[in-house]
Structure 1
Amino acid sequence: MCIAMFTTCTAEVFVDLVNVLLTPRLISGSDLVSDTLFPCEVSLESTRQSSLYQRIDNVAFILFTTKLWLGDSVLVYRCYMVWTTQRWIAMIPAFLLFVTMVFGYAQVGMSYKYYHAQLLAQASSSAAYTARVININLWMYRLNTVATATSVATNIIVTVLVVYRIWRDTRQLAATFGSRATRRYDTAIVMIIESGALYTASLLAELISNNVDGDAAYVANYVSDSLTAMLVLIAPSLIIIRIGLNQGYVETFGQSSSTEDPSMTKPAHSIVFAPKNGDESVGNETSLTGRASIAMLDFEVESSLTRQEYV
């Protein structure tokens, strides 16, 4: 999945760059009418570049939609794995993911209609063909708006669901062992919110700029689209990087923290959710029974004094 995300995001940025470099006359010598580029002067070269620009842009639309699908799929899968005993909850963001795919790829199909309508408009001076080009382009932006809006909603909903699940189960741990025992999970919550906020903010900027008229909004849309292409891969990687740098947890039993010598710290443990089986304790694994599930949380008891402190 990571390789697919990296390939798609890199390809989209590369395609956008190539599109600009190969069509300099269209970019620099065109008027923007209802978010549609029209050459200031009709010539053989401008017509050729306009046709080339649209063909390359069709590829960019495919990569854009695939990028949204891959990024949101990772989030939906994360939600599915966290809500182990109530996995039906993941159906909500999964439905939004499906809507994103449908409207996104519908936009791809509309972009090909736009390309053929543009060829007819270039071959004829009729105002009807020009109006058809503008109308199809408006429909493309409407489909793009729905796809981006549902992607924003998916990111917000999944982040809230995952954070709430971790917070709910760690509160049970805090009630038994004190707040210090939940610090590593509080740090995990912060990491999830941070990574989700970056990607969601870029999508929101793209959504807003896509629905505002003007040259500045047109440029902002391209900038935010490029940022989204990068952040869709960077955002989930931030969690991996922070854990690799030993910044993903704070030691809960008072011996060390992530800012100390890495050789003196312990690796961060993960939260694993399992079906309710009652309260058990085997070795250093303790099951904490919740209302719907049990959070299996690893911990160590350093001494009888430390154990007494948390009791």
Structure 2
Amino acid sequence: MAIDEHLSEFDGLPVFTFGFDTEGQLPDAAEVAWAVRGDWGELDGFPRLFEQFVAAVDTARVTSLIIGFWGYEEPVASRALVANADRFPALRALFLGDILDEEYHLSWIAQGDITPVIQAFPGLERLGVRGGGSSSYDLVLSPFRSEALKELRFESGGLPADVVRAVAASDLPNLEELVLWLGVQQYGGDAALDDLAPILAGERLPALRHLGLQNSEIQDEIAEALASAPVVAWLESLSVSMGTLTDQGVEALLSGQPLTHLKRLDMDYAFLSEPMLERARSAWAGVELLASDATREVEWSDEWDAGFYVAASE
């Protein structure tokens, strides 16, 4: 999957990109989400750009920051962030990995250990991470506690099981939104249902209102687990989209606990029959059902044993 869509708004603010060629008058530091994007081709590219950024912008007033940089050699962006953490006392929203070049793939974005970043910014309310699988520096996360964090999002074509377990073991009493793109084993997505069990139980997530367990090649199994998962009872929205969801998974959801309390159910990009889709629409008539791209053809080839595929892998 080529990264061909970039954040134009983040944390309710319009995005302004600060690059090597940025000239002229800059916007007010607190009125935009700053996207700092460097040249991946040289290891010192991002540190030099970041130095220019902190020199040109009143970073004490920056509330939202997007980092668009990657390199196979080492995750220098995280290191620069941690080293300059004291310059961003008001930072509340951070997104790592919104890469500028449209030719780079999701699996190419190296993140490394992001735990020091989280520790350096204890006031973060919103954290998004893109990439992290099948690289020299796989995504790493240790369990953490945050009373500030309200939204946590991982966009990956292969989210390591260790990261999923770390999220599940973290103490996040005020987290309202959790999104995990689980991906496929080929790109490091080796999480199993057992790894998701604490999330499905919801004991550490009393404030959760949206849960996205998506982009998975075990999407039917996830749907079957959600059918009886305690956390579903206090959700307002649920996403099982982007993965290999079939009639089997939707049947489990229809046969499980009631979902009519949800405001939105996203099962777009799935492999559903028209009759099953109609059953779902009828059963959940009062729920906003996102399923515009839910009936897809299975593609078979000599290369793959199965014809079902997730939305974002490579």
TM-score above 0.5: no
> Could you say which structure has the greater relative contact order, defined with CA pairs below 8 angstroms and 6 or more residues apart?
1
> Could you say which structure has the higher helix fraction?
1
- Please say which structure displays the higher CA radius of gyration: 1
